[in-house]
Amino acid sequence: MAWRSSGSSNESLITNLTRNGLIESERVKDAMLKVDRAHYAPSSPYEDSPQPIGHAATISAPHMHASACESLLTYLSPGAKVLDVGSGSGYLTAVLANLVGPTGTVIGIEHIQPLVDMGRGNMAKSEEGRRMLDSGQVKFVKGDGRKGWAEGAPYDAIHVGAAAAEHHKELTDQLKAPGRLFVPVAEGHLQHIYVIDKMEDGSVDKQKKFGVQYVPLTDAPKS
């Protein structure tokens, strides 16, 4: 089903994702329409599939980006603060920035320096992306995302774009109350999306969603 959403342009890709029910809200649709995936995916940018971006990383499939945004949406109000762990190409970082608007902040954290630079460089390909970088609405930082990014905490929403081997407490600790974490977690050979809510009273609710296939959240390669 997911693969049937491929298009010949950014607009047709987003239209097909919407028609197939993978994008449900106007807000996510608008945010994705404003980011040209060709600035982020080196090949077949309008295919609904992951694409390699080097350094053993991939830009995730558009339907996964849509699903992450839909799932986090109530925590992505204008002005919200968001952490994007494993920001890779920077595509989702840019979409999240559109959702939280100019009064919001999105921090993309990556542990491979060339990918930190790639995320920033990809965003700088558009005038709107350059404005977001210059204003500080979007920031790319280098670090081990399994520990979150304490400097920017607490966050309304945290997205993790690589599969965690365990539930990292630092990420939940850095959520606001209320706040939401979207994270793929590896369990044996399988991976599942977990949506983890920190409630207003500080209690935590974990919900296991659907099966997925992400690259793993790892130690940084030795350079």
Q: Tell which one of 13, 14, 32, 57 touches ligand SAH (CB under 6 A).
A: 57
Q: Do 53 and 62 meet the contact criterion of CB atoms below 8 Å apart?
A: no
Write out the two tokens for 67: 């699903």
Q: Which stretch binds ligand SAH (CB under 6 A): 1-9, 80-88, 170-178, 184-192?
A: 80-88
Q: Tell which one of 35, 92, 132, 158 touches ligand SAH (CB under 6 A).
A: 92
Give whole-number Cα distances, 60 to 47, 51, 86, 144, in Å: 11, 7, 11, 19
Site string for ligand SAH, 24-53 (x = CB under 6 A): ------------------------------
Annotation says 77 is catalytic: no
Nearer to ligand SAH, 181 or 215 (CB): 215
Q: Tell which one of 88, 104, 179, 184 touches ligand SAH (CB under 6 A).
A: 88
Nearer to ligand SAH, 67 or 89 (CB): 89
Residue type, 97: A
Say which of 5, 60, 71, 89 is annotated catalytic: 60
Q: How far apart are CA 213 and CA 73, in angstroms?
A: 22
* Strands 51-54 and 57-59, bridge-based pairing: antiparallel
Q: How far apart are CA 68 and CA 158, in angstroms?
A: 10
Q: What are the start-end ranges of the H helices in the chain? A: 10-19, 26-33, 62-72, 91-100, 113-123, 127-135, 169-173
Kindly state the number of chain residues that form the binding site for ligand SAH, as judged by CB under 6 A.
25
Binding site for ligand SAH (CB under 6 A): 55, 57-60, 85-89, 91-92, 109-112, 115, 144-146, 161-162, 215, 217-218
- Which residues are the active-site residues? 60
